[in-house]
């Protein structure tokens, strides 16, 4: 699969670079809802952290409350995800999916802004 860099010039007129443009698949929503059922009152928060040989890694947490500066993305009527302010530009156009591959299950972030990934998949850089 070829990932293209998110181009705000080709986005709808309502595009705001300070607002998170993130999508979450129904499989990922179901996964998050199951996880949150065991942690009442928590929310899902996505951030990035400097790490690895390439630059950054994704951090997905269940937290009691989002930071005041986080962007809230309304995914469905009953599910929101929060994106850290610093991660918003790096995650523009990203799709969060939940993959089942044989016995393995994992969240996958399909980020069109990724320029390079380390060999082990631990870290990435954006262009």
| Residues 97-126: tens digit of each pLDDT | 999 888 889 898 888 888 777 666 566 777
Model pLDDT, residue 111: 86
| Residues 58-95: tens digit of each pLDDT | 899 999 999 999 999 999 999 999 999 999 988 999 99
**Does residue 82 form part of some domain?**
yes
| Residues 24-35: tens digit of each pLDDT | 999 999 999 999
Model pLDDT, residue 8: 43
Query: For residue 108, which of 98, 121, 118 has the smallest C-alpha distance?
Result: 98
> Tokens 């929503």 belong to which residue?
29
Q: Are 6 and 17 in contact (CB under 8 A)?
A: no
Q: When comparing pLDDT for 45 and 100, which is higher?
A: 45
* Alpha-carbon radius of gyration of the chain: 15
Q: Are 31 and 22 in contact (CB under 8 A)?
A: no
What is the DSSP-derived secondary structure letter of residue 11? S
Q: Total structural domains in the chain?
A: 1
CATH number, domain with residue 65: 2.60.300.12
Model pLDDT, residue 3: 36
Model pLDDT, residue 124: 73
Give the residue numbers spanning the domain of 95: 16-126
**Does residue 85 form part of some domain?**
yes
Alpha helix segments (H runs only) across the chain = 26-37, 88-91
**Does residue 4 form part of some domain?**
no
**Does residue 46 form part of some domain?**
yes
Model pLDDT, residue 1: 32
pLDDT above 50 for 14: no
């Amino acid at each position: 699969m070829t990932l293209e860099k998110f181009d705000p010039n080709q986005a709808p007129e309502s595009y705001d670079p300070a607002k998170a443009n993130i999508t979450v698949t129904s499989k990922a929503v179901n996964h998050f809802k199951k996880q949150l059922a065991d942690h009442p009152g928590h929310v899902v928060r996505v951030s990035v952290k400097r790490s690895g040989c390439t630059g950054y890694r994704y951090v997905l947490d269940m937290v009691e409350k989002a930071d005041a500066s986080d962007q809230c993305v309304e995914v469905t009527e009953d599910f929101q995800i929060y994106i850290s302010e610093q991660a918003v530009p790096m995650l523009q156009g990203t799709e969060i999916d939940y993959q089942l591959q044989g016995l393995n299950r994992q969240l996958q972030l399909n980020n069109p802004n990724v320029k390079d990934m380390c060999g082990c998949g631990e870290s990435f850089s954006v262009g």
